[in-house]
Structure 1
Amino acid sequence: MMMKQKTAAPTIGLILAAMFASLTAIGAFIKVPVPFVPFTLQILFVYFAGSLLGSRVGALSQLVYLIVGLVGVPVFTEGGGIGYVLKPTFGYLVGFVLASYAIGRLIERTENPTWSDFVIAHFTGLLLVYGAGTVYLYVAMNVLIGKAFTVWQTFLYGFLLAVPGDIVLCLIASVIAVKVHKQIYPLKHRLRGEIKA
């Protein structure tokens, strides 16, 4: 009985990580047509991975998504494969891992997080995604591809035109996450108690 209790949490964590990796993959193909830069729902599941699964499992889910795509499964917006690291947008995918971990850490610091706690955590994650994405975009365009790309162009195309939709998703995710978190927190707390016992 003790063995089952001790292995329950890691098993559930792996299942949830796989599930959210799948949801992120699905989100890559749900495109919202808006002017200039259409956006996908990927980052919505990055927000949820961090805020609902916690820092470790949330980051694991995005790491699984990243690895699955790099080994060749077409789960990214434009396919998959190791060659994807040469794409200018690859940095955003790396940012998913960083963001989900940071979001989880921020939410874990509060026993009963409010909507504003989720907004702050999600915005932090958003900045990490775009920070990693824009830096990689600039390097990829100027070094890997060899096309002159200024800091202003990077900021315009890599952040300014792309971020409005993700900000809306950030707010929507916060509304949903605060409600879902209240339902799943007692279950997580009880599971931890069983494992410690």
Structure 2
Amino acid sequence: MYRKGKTLELTLASMFVVLIAVGANLTTIIPFLVVGGVPITLQTFFAVLAGLVLGGRLGAITTSTYAFIGLVGIPVFAQFGAGLGMLFKPTFGFILSFILAAYSAGKIVENKNNVAPYIMASLTATAINYCIGTNWMYFAYKLWYEAPEGFTYGMAWLWMLAPLPKDIILAVFAGIMAHRLKVTVLSKGQFKSLHLGA
């Protein structure tokens, strides 16, 4: 039973790694969905959903795995980016933030049964994504990447206004969806033996 549970956890984690990768590139075919060098993707949605569904520990492992396989050269990042060079990209902070975002989302909903904590956890995780990602972007442009003319800290946050409405709506949807999955699919059958909320 223990081995079966671990296999199922591994399968779910792998599924979310793939979903984050797919979400990273759904909008690649629409070039104008890039604002200030930031591609508007569904990465955050699936990263947060991973934390809500898998729990803090497994959610963090899943998003760490996603970041790792991208850094070793598998093109899973937005616009099919990959490799260690991504560490120096202004947008890498958003990828890095997925780990803490997923972990936080999972921890917030631990032992929670109502939908409200799920939505709050999702919005909190999205805020973490924005804070880490935007600050990384600002310092990257200021310290090692060529910044646009007249670039300021306020401009970095101004760029984030474009994806903000979409991310707020998706965060609420992720919370509702994760809660629904918990009270239906994840509370039945072979999923019951898993510790996905841990």
TM-score, normalization by structure 1: 0.86
8 Å contact kept, 2:9–2:194:
no
Q: CA deviation at 1:72?
A: 0.6
Aligned to 2:144: 144
Residues 17 and 58 in structure 1, CA contact (< 8 A), matched pair in contact too: yes
What residue is the counterpart of 1:76 in the other structure?
77
SS at match of 1:80: coil
The code of the aligned residue for 1:95 comes to S
Provide the residue aligned with 1:23 in structure 2: 19
* Root-mean-square deviation (Å): 2.2
Instruction: Provide the residue aligned with 1:163 in structure 2.
Output: 164
Q: Which has the higher helix share?
A: 1
Ranked by relative contact order (alpha carbons within 8 Å, sequence separation 6 or more), the top structure is 2
Paired AA for residue 157 in structure 2: F
Work out the number of aligned pairs and report it.
186
1:123 aligned partner: 123
CA deviation vs aligned residue, 1:117-144 (integer Å, no higher than 9, x gap) = 1110001100111111011001100001
d(CA) in 1 for partners of 2:183, 2:61: 23
Equivalent AA in structure 1 for residue 107 of structure 2: R
Kept after mapping to 2: 8 A contact 1:95/1:133: yes
**Pairing 1:9–2:5 present:** yes
Which structure has the greater CA radius of gyration? 1
**Distance in 2 of aligned mates of 1:35 and 1:11:** 38
Counterpart of 1:20, as a letter, is F
Q: Give the match's secondary structure for 1:102.
A: helix
Match of 2:92 in 1: 90
Residue 187 of structure 1, CA deviation: 4.5
TM-score where L is the length of structure 2: 0.85
Is 2:106 the counterpart of 1:104?
yes
User: Is the CA contact (8 Å cut-off) linking 2:70 and 2:76 kept in structure 1?
Assistant: yes
- Relative to structure 1, the CA distance from residue 14 to residue 173 in structure 2 (aligned partners, 3 Å threshold; closer, same or farther) is same
Deviations 1:93-151 (A, max 9, x none): 011111001000011142x1x22111100011001111110110011000011436311
Cα distance in 2 for residues equivalent to 1:93 and 1:15: 22
Which amino acid letter does the alignment assign opposite residue 29 of structure 1? N
How far 1:160 moved relative to its partner? 2.3
Residue number in structure 1 paired with 2:135: 135
- Match of residue 154, structure 1, among 153, 156, 159: 156
Q: Report if aligned partners of 1:91, 1:137 keep a CA contact under 8 Å in 2.
A: yes
Unaligned runs of 5+ in 2: none
Change (3 A) 1:27 1:36: closer
- Give secondary structure in 1 for the equivalent of 2:167: helix
Distance in 1 (CA, whole Å) between partners of 2:91 and 2:48 is 19
Q: Output the amino acid matched with 2:101.
A: A
Q: Following superposition, which runs of at least 4 residues in structure 1 exceed 4 angstroms of deviation?
A: 32-36, 186-189
Give 2:108's aligned amino acid. Answer: L
* Cα distance in 1, alignment partners of residues 151 and 96 from structure 2: 21
